[in-house]
Structure 1
Amino acid sequence: MQLFQQMQQEGMTPDKFTFVRVIKACAGLGRLEDGRLVHKQFIQSGYKSNVFVCKSLVDMYAKCGSIEEAWTVFEKMPSRNVVTWTTIILGHVQRQQWQKALELFEKMQQEGVQPDSVTFVGVLNACASILALEEGRCVHQRSVEFGCHSDVFVGNSLVDMYAKCGSIEDAWRVFNKMPSRNVVTWNAMIIQSGLESDVFVGSSLVDMYPKCGSIVDAGNVFKKMSSRDVVSWTVMILGHMQCREGQKAFKLFQQMQ
């Protein structure tokens, strides 16, 4: 922001690329007032109809907690693409205005804009948050129609949505059909299936997490286990040793005894 101001003081006129970068910086830092100032300068510079700058403004206002100003910029845009629509939808999801996000998802398609994988992830999160199972099934069908259902992030969101809405069978059905799965997918099915408390599954998770650099997650699983045997205690102790937490490992050894 300081460089942006210095640039203008030295007589340099910012272009649309400058505005995009500075607006993104304001969004990342949560600097709403600075963002408003840049927005004002952007209008004075005559770039008010540029879709990339407007998209950045919508994103900045949403991330800074001013969804009303994000909506004002959005409505004034002469044209809106999938990125812009997704940005405003995600802004409402972040503000926990889940029903509004679903309404915008419908309006987006009515205006002929095809959603992408990021759009579906946001909308499915909205469905999961309000336990809207039927709406979630409709969104799932749309993801199939638009060819986004095979995306691993959409798949994860579908598994999460179905599980949170109480439809474990649907969650398993999606899980089994996913062409690829990541650690998020597996974790979602293991927390939702209740297998986390199983001593064998739990021990495996406690062993896996420190090797992946997350002793905190290992500890969370360890605490949730309904019973612990010598294996689960040992992998937890070794996990702390791997993470160079020798004192904690020794305390766990004493606690185990």
Structure 2
Amino acid sequence: MLGYVENSQAETVLHFFLLMQLEGCSPDVWTLVCELKAGGSSVALRLGRILHEEITSLGFQFQGAVISSLVDFYSSCGNMDEAELVFNSVSRKDAVSWSSLIAGYSRQGDSDRVIRAGMIEQGKKFFQEMTSRCGLDPGIEHYHRMIGMQAQQLEEAVEMVEAMPFEATMVTWTSLLGACSKWKDERVEKIACDNILSLL
């Protein structure tokens, strides 16, 4: 099944998962986590919901790896409501779970400009709550996600780069440049390009 997951063949994964169930073989938590990587198609969403039910029935629903995998799965399928429900189902979130949720809002913002502003605000809210509610310090990868989301707020993205407690890397500047590609701003684009060139 993992081989089919890695080749984005969600329908085949679903077939073998159901066959496995019919033969009385119960999956362990890592099998379920691997299968949640089946992608964002409608078939994959069906598979994910079946896996979610199985995870709950086996009592795995509060394990950290399972939570982050479910959040990542639902957000990859474009279903942020279910992603948030999973995220909010546990009182103690880790950095991986927060990353999965923020990344989900980042993906949604990029894919649909009609709701982009709302997605950015939600992403910013969760980014801030990592520290205010859970006492977790965002890593540089969280900053990169937030910078990449802010195509409509490029000045704020530049301020975030300048304020983050890490030295900006090639990924930092390419994240900013990627945001510029959606909403043109020659000044910010030049800042990103100049810094990328200085790191080459």
Shorter-chain TM-score: which interval? 0.5 to 0.7
- The residue type paired with residue 162 of structure 2 is T
| Conservation of the 8 A alpha-carbon contact between 2:10 and 2:47 | no
Gaps of 5+ in 1: 1-88, 244-251
Distance 1:142 1:197 in 2: 29
**Bigger Rg, which one:** 1
1:188 counterpart residue number: 100
1:159 and 1:219 map into 2 onto residues whose CA distance is 19
Q: Residues 90 and 233 (structure 1 numbering): CA distance in 2 closer, same or farther, change over 3 Å?
A: closer
Give 1:201 deviation, angstroms: 6.9
1:135 corresponds to: 47
* Equivalent pair of 1:156/1:184 in contact (CA under 8 Å): yes
How far, CA to CA, are the matches of 1:120 and 1:153 in structure 2? 10
Distance 2:63 2:126 in 1: 27
How far is 1:220 from its partner? Answer: 5.4
- Mark the CA change 1:200 to 1:97 in structure 2 (over 3 Å): closer, same or farther: closer
Query: Which residue of structure 2 aligns with residue 235 of structure 1?
Result: 163
Match of 1:22 in 2: none
Of 1, 4, 9, 1:97 maps to 9
Q: Residues 131, 178 of structure 1: CA spacing in aligned structure 2 closer, same or farther, 3 A cutoff?
A: farther
Does residue 139 of structure 2 align to residue 209 of structure 1?
A: yes
C-alpha distance in structure 2 between counterparts of 1:202 and 1:176, whole Å: 15
1:62 aligned partner: none
Q: 1:122 to 1:129 in 2, by over 3 A?
A: farther
Aligned residues: 150
| Distance in 1, Cα, partners of 2:80 & 2:93 | 17
Seen in structure 2, the aligned counterparts of structure 1 residues 176 and 202 have a Cα distance that, compared at 3 Å, is closer
Deviation at 1:101, TM superposition (A): 1.6
User: Alpha carbon RMSD of aligned pairs, Å?
Assistant: 3.5
Q: Are the counterparts in 2 of residues 202 and 222 from structure 1 also a CA contact under 8 Å? A: no
Q: For residue 176 of structure 1, report the CA deviation from its aligned partner.
A: 0.7
Residue 139 of structure 2: SS of its match in structure 1?
A: helix
Aligned to 1:129, what secondary structure does the other structure show?
Answer: coil
2:7 maps to a residue whose letter is R
Q: Does the CA contact (< 8 Å) of 2:71 and 2:97 recur in 1?
A: yes
How do 1:73-84 and structure 2 match up within 5 A? none
Give the Cα–Cα distance (whole angstroms) in 1 for the partners of residues 84 and 122 of structure 2. Answer: 19
| 1:177 and 2:89 matched | yes
Unaligned runs of 5+ in 2: 106-118, 131-136, 170-187, 193-200
**Structure 1 residues 118 and 227, CA gap change in structure 2 (3 angstroms):** same
Cα deviation for residue 122 of structure 1 reads 1.9
Question: Contact between 2:33 and 2:69, CA under 8 Å: does it hold in 1?
Answer: yes
Q: TM-score of the superposition, structure 1-length normalised?
A: 0.48
Closer, same or farther: CA 179–113 of 1 in aligned 2, 3 Å? farther
- In 2 relative to 1, CA 227–198 (structure 1 residues): closer, same or farther, beyond 3 Å? farther
